[in-house]
Amino acid sequence: MPQTKPIVSVENVVASASVDQKMDLNEITRTFPDVEYHPDQFPGLVFRLKSPKTATLIFTSGKMVCTGSKSEEMARKAVKTVVQKLRKGGIKVKKDAVVEIQNIVASINLGGKIHLEQAARTLPRSMYEPEQFPGLIHRM
């Protein structure tokens, strides 16, 4: 295996947040026609941002889930931006969102070939199921 420094790439950061109040998703939909809301299919509303390029799910409970960011800082900024946009649109949001990072998905290029089945057996908290996903999943 070549002796190169491994290259780690963050692919997705998932953050949860709460504004600690009930949200009227129908009102948000009327105010922001670009949001996606189909309550017969999914209970949350999807609020997409172009910058940072993320999607934030908003639920009537005031809870939010932000996906698509490439860093913790970007995830926090995205949630803050969504709350600011809601306020600018006239949606009353009393508190700033409390954000908590839930998951970080990253990939790594080790610069060589790896026997994934053997690695999965050797590394604790690792999983390799090629029928479901072509890479080794290692939880930290």
**Looking at the 3D structure of the chain, how many domains does it have?**
2
Cα 89 from Cα 28, distance rounded (Å): 8
pLDDT of 5 over the 70 cut: yes
pLDDT of 1 over the 60 cut: no
Q: Name the H helices within 1-140.
A: 25-31, 72-88, 116-122
Residues 70 and 131 in one domain: no
- As a whole-number percent, the residues of the chain with pLDDT over 90 amount to 90
pLDDT of 60 over the 90 cut: yes
Residues 16 and 60 in one domain: yes
Q: Which is nearest to 17 in space by CA: 50, 51, 47? A: 47
Question: Do 124 and 133 touch, CB atoms closer than 8 A?
Answer: no
Only one residue has tokens 């009102």, namely: 27
For residue 111, the model assigns a pLDDT of 84
Range of 34's domain? 10-107
pLDDT of 2 over the 80 cut: no
Whats the size of the chain, residue-wise? 140
> Residue 81 is part of a domain; what is its CATH number?
3.30.310.10
Cα 60 from Cα 23, distance rounded (Å): 5
For residue 59, the model assigns a pLDDT of 99
pTM: 0.87
Return the biggest CA–CA distance within the chain.
Answer: 58
pLDDT of 82 over the 80 cut: yes
